[in-house]
Chain A
Amino acid sequence: MLVAETIVPTQPASLRDRIDEVSTRLILRGATGLASVDFELLGQSAQEQGNDLVAAIARDLSRQIAEASSSDQTDLTRILSGGLVRMQALLKEPAVAATVESISVEPSEKTASQIQANAAIQSLSADMDLIREFVTESLEHLSTIEGQVLILEKNNTAAETLNSIFRAFHTIKGLAGFLEFADVQALAHEVETLLDLARTARLTVTSQVVDVVLESTDVLRQELHGIEIRLGGNIPPPSRINESLLLKIRKVSRGEVEQSGNTAGAPVASSISPEGSGKIATAPPAERRIEVGRSSDSSSSVRIDTAKLDQLMDMVGEMVIAQTLIEHSPALSMVQDVRFLKDLTHLARITSDVQRITTGMRMVPIGTQMQKTARLVRDLSRRAKKEIVLETFGEDTELDKTIAEELADPLLHMVRNSIDHGIEPPEERIALGKNPTARIRIAAYHQSGQIVVEISDDGRGLNREKILAKAQQNGLVQSGTQLTDNEIFLLIFEAGFSTADKVTDISGRGVGMDVVRKHVQKLRGRIDIQSEQGKGTTFYLKLPLTLAIIEGLVIVVGDQRYIVPIYSTKEILRPKAEMLSTVQGRGEMAMVHDTLLPIVRLHRRFEMKPRTTSLADGMLVVVESEGRQFCLFVDEVTGKQEVVIKSLGESFKNIPGIAGCAILGDGRVGLILDMDGISNGRS
């Protein structure tokens, strides 16, 4: 039964073409790409052809554009695309539903189904929300795929693993078909075909198969990001989906099929190890993720825009503060009513529950970030010709979504660094009496209100003397300075620092570790290092559980109070006269533990009248920013407090030295200081 034959253009092509042209512009550029006059013209030509219905719709749409405010573009896009589809449908009528036998199998001719598909699909492919959802869901599928492929590499006959990878590509292909992303559809189709051969045992999963699947995953991910960029109204980088990639996949599937008669298609597990390349041991919890996209998202979860979550978080912060204000209100001491006081306690409990749950809503398991490193270890260990096993622990440890995302880069950099610098080549390891297969271990856990991520390797360890010598040579450290091991090791995070004798394509350019520190500091975290020469190195990343609340030191200057984040303070001291000096060209300095630190007078920085201008009468807070220490001169330090960070709004958000504000216990506002800004502002 060929339904396509029932579609006969009943109108001159020009009107249909014009409607199609307008639809295309809507899809490409959104509602902003169209003006009211476009539909006016459509209406006119429909009228001329005597198609009153189409003309009416066009005029209606023209009016909608004229009346729409610039804020509701998404709604307008939806209305316009709906209207255009109606017009297209009207022009296609009469598409009489042909009589169908009890079983109807659709024609497989591409042309027939495509012609037909056009009208309805157009409205799907013009729906920005749907496309956005497609991107999100497909990206999730891709990370599932990556994890599964690495499991597959270990056990190339794992049927359910193969099947779940197949299904993920299958779904991406299907959805791409509906939304008319032909390139995505084509690539997913090729990989799907390849995997189909594998799961029906017509193809052995070799390392080539794994490579090509991973490569396709990368290309698809880039393509999806491209779609996202296009949605944002920008031009994405050119697509990497091309005929040669498709051919390559086809070759892999065909080549292996031909060889399956003989023994050439050696299975992965045995083909990798002899080359001395990477093997990945992912901990069992990954199995859990096979089921991604199933029941959990069908009924028990809802996707929420993170902006909404942030807003909720913000409002909950306000609520907690309001609650504190009531609790500390002097009026409360007059209240005798026991019942009222009891209700108040109840309210306080509910408030803290709400706060806890809201914070929890932003939490995601760290496992996804660990999976990314698994992929990196696999690729890099092959390139560096080192045998490495990656062990991960605590994938279920939850942390704030933003922190988790920001953590991805530092984690990758550090693992990369371990592979390149830390781990010796197998021959060297054997000579040292070590196991030729090196071990990288990533563990995540909660410790006293913080998340700790440990990255350790059993490589050569950091060379204390070499680092110190290099640092002195670069002028990062004056000779004779006493430093602890940790302090010396932390020097590797300085910009431009690299002890690698030669630069490889993996690392050693002195970038990377510097980036790691920046990222971690941005997240208000810190890094510690333990290392033993010849035995290995462990990095400890310590991060806060949430970015919404910080622990701060409340300081007073004049009649103002400020908050200095605890993570950037080192020490508080009352200066003695003999500590203070003035150094030509560098201003006032304080000698703290044999180190000369510059003093920043906060009252000068913010042009205020302090209680005292004499250094000996105030306090010095030693702070650190971007690895440099300096002293803040303040009137007084009044205590430590947890505060909810609030933004200062659009107009004040870029004041150097101020990170935001917080409402203090008594309801007054305190400004939160940003040490990087203050450090850069001092001259």
Chain B
Amino acid sequence: MRKAVLLVDDSAMMRKVVSRTLKMAGLEFEQVLEAGDGAEALTCLRDNNVELIMCDINMPVMNGLELLQRIKEENLAVGVPIVMVTTEGSEPQVRQAILAGAKGYIRKPFSADHIKNSVTPLLAP
């Protein structure tokens, strides 16, 4: 069992769906932390250690790309893989996210297999 994951999405239900899919892919966490936007995610990261961050891009208050920037600036979550979860994903957006520090990029809707292929390898065994 892994320690903690942070799910960042403005839809509570989407956070639930992501959490369920992680579980189906065999990634179980003792603690599932949730944030409704980038600002909440920052607050959460200042107080908690997580092993994985799954983050939406388009959110109110502070979007996913801004969040990546801030995480870098504040030196938070060092070495923690951040996977962007989004419905869009144009080539420039993917590049932008990766340059800003994202380690993975998956499109909604995704399945447990997508997680196995794109998220599991990012985590320590």
> Which residues does A use to contact B, with CB under 8 Å?
1, 3, 85, 95, 97-100, 102-106, 108, 113, 116-121, 123-124, 130, 133-134, 137, 163-164, 166-167, 170-171, 173-175, 177-178, 290-291, 293-295, 297-299
Contacts and interface: CB of A to CB of B under 8 A. Distances in A.
B102 to A, nearest CB: 8
Contacts of A108: 89, 107
Nearest to A180: B109
Interface in B91-109: 94, 98, 103-109
A130 B20 CA distance: 11
Given A103-B98, A120-B112, A293-B10, A113 B107 contact: yes
A261 B107 CA distance: 34
B37 A117 contact: no
A97 B34 CA distance: 28
A409 B1 CA distance: 52
Contacts of A98: 117
A178 B17 contact: yes
**9 tightest A-B CB contacts, nearest first:** A177-B109, A120-B112, A120-B111, A117-B111, A298-B36, A104-B118, A294-B36, A178-B109, A171-B11
Given A97-B117, A97-B121, 13 more contacts: A1-B117, A3-B113, A106-B118, A116-B111, A118-B111, A121-B109, A133-B16, A134-B13, A170-B87, A291-B60, A293-B11, A293-B36, A298-B40
Interface in B8-43: 10-17, 20-21, 24-25, 34-37, 40
Contacts of A177: 87, 108-109
B70 interface: no
A295 B36 contact: yes
A123 B25 CA distance: 12
A467 B107 CA distance: 64
B94 to A, nearest CB: 6
Contacts of A103: 98, 103-105
Contacts of B103: 102-103
Contacts of A105: 89, 94, 105
A175 B112 contact: no
Contacts of B105: 103-106
A95 B113 CA distance: 8
Contact of B117 (A104, A117, A171): A104
16 contacts: A103-B105, A104-B105, A104-B121, A106-B106, A106-B110, A108-B89, A113-B110, A118-B111, A119-B113, A130-B16, A167-B59, A167-B60, A178-B108, A294-B10, A295-B40, A297-B36
Contacts of A293: 10-12, 36
Contacts of B61: 294
Contacts, number: 128
A163 B62 CA distance: 12
Nearest to A290: B60
B120 interface: yes
Chain B contact residues (Cβ within 8 angstroms of A): what range?
A: 35 or more
A392 to B, nearest CB: 24
Nearest to A171: B11
Contacts of A3: 113-114, 117
A137 B12 contact: yes
Nearest to A291: B60
Interface of B: 10-17, 20-21, 24-25, 34-37, 40, 58-61, 87, 89, 94, 98, 103-114, 116-118, 120-122
A529 to B, nearest CB: 43
A100 B121 contact: yes
A210 B33 CA distance: 38
B35 A120 contact: no
B60 A130 contact: no
A167 B36 CA distance: 13
Nearest to B85: A174
Q: Which among B87, B109, B110 has the greatest number of chain A C-beta atoms within 10 A? A: B109
Q: Which among A104, A108, A123 has the greatest number of chain B C-beta atoms within 10 A? A: A104
Q: Which among A85, A100, A108 has the greatest number of chain B C-beta atoms within 10 A? A: A100
A174 to B, nearest CB: 4
A666 to B, nearest CB: 49
Contacts of B122: 100, 102
Nearest to B13: A137
Given A124-B21, A175-B13, A294 B60 contact: yes
Contacts of B36: 293-295, 297-298
Contacts of A174: 11, 14, 87, 108-109
A510 B104 CA distance: 63
Contacts of B11: 137, 171, 174-175, 293
B24 A133 contact: no
Contacts of B120: 97
B89 A100 contact: no
A203 B119 CA distance: 37
A298 B114 contact: no
Q: Which among B25, B106, B114 has the greatest number of chain A C-beta atoms within 10 A? A: B114
Contact of A298 (B20, B34, B112, B117): B34
A85 B34 CA distance: 27
A170 B85 CA distance: 13
A191 to B, nearest CB: 13
A199 to B, nearest CB: 10
